[in-house]
Amino acid sequence: MMKVKVFKIRLPEEFLHEDQKTLDAFLESNEIIKVETAFVNDENYWSVVLYFDELKIDELKIVKNSVKDSKNVKYSAENDELSSDEEKILEALKYWRSEKAREQNLPSYFIATNKELVSVAKYKPAKKEELLDIKGFGKHKIENYGEEILEILESI
């Protein structure tokens, strides 16, 4: 049975992080069917409407186990210097992200944060499964953008 949930992602710094965390947690525990977003100008927030199926407890366990549950073990780039190759990859990923954001009418951080892109540039995953090892990449993000990200990595 399909259900609907509406999230409000407020842009001021003090709310943004918290609102995003709430949304991320929801995305992880539900099977998202469709997403609609709208920017509410006068109040300066994104309205995110999710159409979803609740994952049953046993499905949730399977998903959690298959997506290695050790979140803290996921790769996340520290503020290391990037090599010139990694810089090139990062530039290409940022360009791709801004195009994607414009296309989907989303703020770019919805697609991937800078830290996630830096992590991709340093880790250089070659397969979709390897994207799962990067902090910030869950099933949803990989299904939506995995192919394209891997193509960018191959092309550079």
**In the numeric block, which tokens belong to residue 29?**
């525990």
**In the numeric block, which tokens belong to residue 117?**
């892109």
> Is 59 or 54 the better-scoring residue by pLDDT?
54
Using the predicted structure, report yes or no on whether residue 57 has a pLDDT greater than 70: no
How many alpha carbons lie under 13 Å from residue 87 in its C-beta half-sphere? Answer: 4
| Number of other CB atoms surrounding residue 97 within 10 Å | 24
Looking at residue 30, its pLDDT comes to 77
SS3 assignment, position 102: helix
Tell me how many degrees the CA angle 112-116-122 measures, rounded to the nearest 5. Answer: 140
Mean pLDDT of 133-146: 90
What is the amino acid identity at position 54?
A: E
**Nearest alpha-carbon partner for 117 in 97, 132, 141, 138:** 97
Q: What is the pLDDT of residues 81-122, one digit of tens each?
A: 889 999 999 999 999 999 999 998 888 888 999 989 999 999
Using the predicted structure, report yes or no on whether residue 58 has a pLDDT greater than 90: no
Mean pLDDT of 124-133: 93
Query: Which pTM does this prediction carry?
Result: 0.56
What is the amino acid identity at position 128?
A: K
Element (H, E) at 121: helix 114-123
Which structural domains are found in the chain, ordered by start? 3-66 (3.30.70), 71-155 (1.10.150.80)
Using the predicted structure, report yes or no on whether residue 67 has a pLDDT greater than 80: no
**Best mean pLDDT range from 27-31, 62-66, 67-71, 136-140:** 136-140
> Is 105 or 145 the better-scoring residue by pLDDT?
145
- Sheet of 3-10: strands edge to edge? 3-10, 45-54, 30-40
SS3 assignment, position 101: helix
Using the predicted structure, report yes or no on whether residue 71 has a pLDDT greater than 50: no
